[in-house]
Chain A
Amino acid sequence: MVLTRTSRSATADARASRMESLDIEALYRRYGDLVQGRCRSLLRSEQDAAEATQEVFLRLWRYRDSFRGEASPTTWLFKITTSTCLNRLRTRRRHPEELVDETPQLAGPRDALVSEIEARQLLNLLVEEEDERTRAALVYHHIDGMTHDEVGEMLGISGAAVRKRIAVFREKVRGRLPGLEGS
């Protein structure tokens, strides 16, 4: 079999060789917690997380030839899982009849509660308006705590481009949600 490789270390080759013998159950046992935890954290629905986990492992299994060549399997899975979850969130938004009620149980006066929920919904809508890369950049930067350069590496763009995308989004939020300014 001909494999196209750009750069692979001896460690990656050894890892790839070990993975030749892995089956889907072994892969799930090794990496399932990463995928499942990520899905739960982004989707906040047990059923969605279970389905998304299944979807990620199907993709892993189908593309296992390229997965074997990865220097960092966790990075590959982290990206694929994030992309899968963002697709699901977008689908959920477009088909609200299938939405799971996940209204957060917040303490505080009713007016403040309604206002916070509305603000979150609007923030979600604003995120949904963004393209796939910007949404991923927002998640990597604001939820995962990656620097602009680290996000750029994940997305295959420069750190400066990431900074610009996030700045444009923040400007948009400031215009529509002044109460969230600085958050």
Chain B
Amino acid sequence: MSHLNTLVLHQLRYGELRGDALLRANEHLAACETCSSRLRAQEAERAAFVAAPVPDAIRAIGATAAPVRSWWRDWLPLAGALLAAASLSLVVREVRTDGVTSPEVATARPKGELPAVEVWVKRPEGTRPLREGEPVGSGDRIQLVYDPHGASAIALAGRDGSGRIEVYTTNAPTGIGLVRAPFALTLDDTPGSQELFVVGSDRALSEDEVKEAVAGAVHGARVGHVVLRKREGGGRR
């Protein structure tokens, strides 16, 4: 007997099965203790989940993350003039320390095919998206999340307050949609801003080429960029 797959059991619970698919599933469940038991396990998990509070990290998402699709669709009709005017500000969206907070994730969402970059911060209380305007300090662990937008190769690099460029990897994961960087960065106490770069290209770049791409030479690279400014005094909040 072929069992119901996991997704079909979820679809059944959520009322998404219709017609023949629903009939077949119910007939199978009536005859199959294995699948009935799997469904009961999903329902028990649901019952335990409903009783638990919504984590703060999930609530924070609603206050921080703007919808991506609406963003560019809303702007599309005005693309010609606005894109020209906005191109610079789209490439770099700074995380400021001036206390002005905006209800958006600290993110660079460049136009075109540039990799989009999000910054998450790992602190003892948990990992969550860094809000725009939220300061960072030495000891904070920074997790980059990026959308390669079709790039075949991704390199990750940083530039600290002294202007030193460090290539973290020339072979970061690519994929469809958001991808986590394969490591977290722990900020040190170097004064000044910390810049992070996601360099997308159609071929793997050498470290030197990545440094040149970060410095402005193109090499066929598309560079997503975010600037973190450290809080005065440097330390973790």
- A residues within 8 Å of B by Cβ? 1-2, 11, 23-25, 28-29, 32-34, 36-37, 50-51, 53-55, 57-59, 61-66, 72-75, 78, 80, 83-84, 87-88, 90-91, 94-95, 98, 132, 140, 143-147, 150, 154
Contact = CB atoms under 8 A, between A and B. Distances in A.
Interface string B67-92: 11110011000000000000000000
Contacts of A65: 67-70, 73
B20 to A, nearest CB: 15
B180 A1 contact: no
A57 B207 CA distance: 34
A75 B14 CA distance: 11
A145 B6 contact: yes
B141 to A, nearest CB: 11
A83 B5 CA distance: 18
Interface string B163-184: 0000000000101111110110
A61 B67 contact: yes
B176 A83 contact: yes
Contacts of B2: 147
Interface of B: 2-7, 10-11, 14, 16, 18, 42, 45-46, 49-50, 54-55, 57-59, 61-62, 65-70, 73-74, 105, 126-129, 145, 173, 175-180, 182-183
Contacts of A83: 175-177
A78 B5 CA distance: 12
A1 B73 contact: yes
B7 A55 contact: no
Main secondary structure, interface of B, reads: mixed
24 contacts: A1-B73, A24-B59, A24-B62, A29-B50, A33-B46, A34-B10, A50-B55, A51-B127, A53-B58, A54-B57, A58-B178, A61-B67, A63-B67, A74-B11, A78-B6, A80-B177, A87-B179, A91-B182, A91-B183, A95-B183, A140-B5, A143-B6, A144-B6, A154-B7
Nearest to A36: B49
B177 A59 contact: yes
Given A1-B74, A63-B67, A25 B178 contact: no
B175 A72 contact: no
Contacts of A57: 58, 61
A23 to B, nearest CB: 6
Nearest to A34: B10
B73 A54 contact: no
B19 to A, nearest CB: 11
Contact of B58 (A11, A28, A80, A98): A28
A25 B179 CA distance: 24
Contact of B7 (A50, A62, A74): A74
